[in-house]
């Protein structure tokens, strides 16, 4: 059985369900129609005892999913519409939770770009396959808000202080980096992905089939920065992190300090707190609920979210004007206000 929607292909091959994001011209960026289609497929298969596993992949050769349709979000927020974004995030986060808790194993193929909303699809799957083309990132601070889709749950469980580093900088991870940081499980050559799917359909133990295609994980570039990342990003605040980076002799540490000094102050401060709070949460659902409050706070009260999307993705002038412009100008109550924001109804109502 196969079903075709405009942007998602739903296909059942024997006892394997296959979901293919089919918007390659936009790097398979998610819109509400796609989220609803994926949710519908997973809901239909969840109680089917004959389904052995679900494979989630992206059409084209450039990536699984570059994130959510933030350009559409920009135009809604600019028009003063918060109901559209709220529906989108509620639906997206419910899908993220379903993936994390799904009855059948989900095998997510993160071949190529897997960022933002793409992490929400792949990062919570039972088996997360990276390739030599993989590029993982949570780049939300670069456009003026905070990692979501359960990203803070993953960041909070990365080794050492990699979670703070990856969350604040939006740095891109290779496949080996993603395995090291806990965003992926195995590396499979991109040329072998179709063969892997064929082998899964042919039958056999899921783990054994995947192990046949898995390659040794190369050294992760992230490992070369762990010493200064763990030291600097353990500091108590973003200004203290920048000061710690400035004290390091590594040129890469200096470059990160320069990046943080010009990034959105509100996004940085909220993200640092979100990653650290996520470490004490009990599961992905709690992290998603926390993120939902934060994302709605940004959308309802903060100009940086609109400005960041404008500068990076709409006008593409790469010169956002943040409010406030510097960390020194950030009100002491900002982070407290962000975490106190309570959308009604709450996410899981």
pLDDT one-digit tens code per residue, 21-62: 999 999 999 999 999 999 999 999 999 999 999 999 999 999
What is the Cα–Cα distance from 43 to 124, expressed in whole angstroms? 17
Confidence (pLDDT) at 119: 98
Residue among 148, 177, 291, 304 flagged as catalytic: 148
Q: Which of 17, 58, 68, 118 is catalytic?
A: 68
Output DSSP code: residue 28. Answer: T
- pLDDT score of 5: 61
Give the model's pLDDT for residue 177: 98
Point out the catalytic residue in the list 140, 185, 291, 304: 140
Would you state the pLDDT for residue 69? 87
For residue 21, list its beta bridge partners: 8, 58
Any catalytic annotation for residue 148? yes
Q: Give the tens place of pLDDT for each residue, 149-199.
A: 999 999 999 999 999 999 999 999 999 999 999 999 999 999 999 999 999
CATH number of 1-349: 3.90.226.10
4 backbone dihedrals φ, ψ, rounded to 5°: -115, 125
pLDDT of residue 270: 98
Burial class (CB in 10 A: 0-12, 13-18, 19+), 47: exposed
Residue numbers of the chain with a pLDDT score lower than 70: 1-5
Burial grade of 282 (CB within 10 A; 0-12, 13-18, 19 or more): exposed
Q: Looking at residue 1, what is its pLDDT? A: 44
Sequence-distant (6+) residues with CB within 8 A of 58 are 20, 21, 24, 28, 64, 65, 109, 111, 112
Residue 241: closest CA among 221, 268, 266, 222: 268
Alpha helices in 203-264 (DSSP H): 206-213, 226-232, 238-246, 251-262
DSSP string over 271-310: HHHHHHHHTT-SSHHHHHHHHHHHHHHHHHH-HHHHHHHI
Query: Which residues have a Cβ under 8 Å from the Cβ of 75 and sit 6 or more positions away?
Result: none
Half-sphere exposure of residue 291: CA atoms within 13 angstroms, side-chain side = 34
Clarify whether 140 is annotated catalytic.
Answer: yes
For residue 158 the two structure tokens come to 């990365």
196: exposed, middle or buried (C-beta count within 10 Å: 0-12, 13-18, 19+)?
buried
């Amino acid at each position: 059985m196969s079903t075709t929607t405009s942007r998602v292909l739903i296909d059942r091959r024997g006892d394997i369900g296959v979901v293919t994001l089919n918007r390659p011209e936009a790097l398979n960026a998610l819109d509400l129609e796609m989220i609803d289609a994926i949710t519908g497929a997973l809901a239909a298969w969840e109680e089917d005892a004959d389904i052995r596993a679900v494979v989630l992949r992206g059409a084209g050769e450039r990536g699984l999913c570059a994130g959510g349709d933030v350009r559409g979000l920009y135009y809604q927020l600019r028009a003063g519409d918060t109901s559209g974004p709220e529906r989108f995030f509620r639906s997206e986060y419910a899908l993220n939770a379903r993936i994390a808790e799904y009855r059948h194993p989900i095998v997510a193929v993160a071949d190529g770009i897997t960022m933002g909303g793409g992490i929400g699809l792949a990062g919570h799957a039972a088996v997360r396959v990276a390739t030599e083309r993989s590029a993982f990132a949570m780049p939300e601070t670069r456009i003026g808000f905070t990692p979501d889709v359960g990203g803070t749950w993953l960041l909070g469980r990365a080794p050492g202080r990699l979670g703070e580093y990856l969350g604040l900088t939006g740095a891109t991870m290779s496949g080996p980096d993603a395995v090291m940081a806990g965003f992926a499980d195995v590396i499979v050559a991109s040329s072998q992905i179709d063969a892997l799917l064929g082998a899964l359909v042919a039958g056999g133990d899921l783990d054994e089939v995947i192990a046949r295609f898995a390659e040794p994980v190369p050294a992760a570039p992230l490992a070369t920065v762990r010493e200064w990342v763990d030291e600097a990003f353990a500091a108590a605040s973003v200004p203290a992190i920048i000061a710690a980076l400035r004290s390091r002799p590594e040129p890469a540490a200096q470059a990160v300090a320069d990046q943080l000094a010009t990034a959105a102050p509100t996004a940085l401060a909220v993200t640092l707190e979100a990653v650290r709070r996520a470490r004490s949460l009990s599961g992905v659902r709690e992290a998603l609920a926390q993120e939902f409050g934060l994302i709605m706070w940004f959308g309802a009260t903060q100009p940086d979210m609109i400005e960041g999307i404008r500068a990076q993705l709409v006008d593409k002038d790469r010169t956002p004007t943040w409010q406030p412009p510097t960390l020194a100008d950030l009100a002491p109550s900002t982070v407290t206000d962000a975490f106190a924001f309570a959308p009604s109804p709450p996410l899981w109502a």
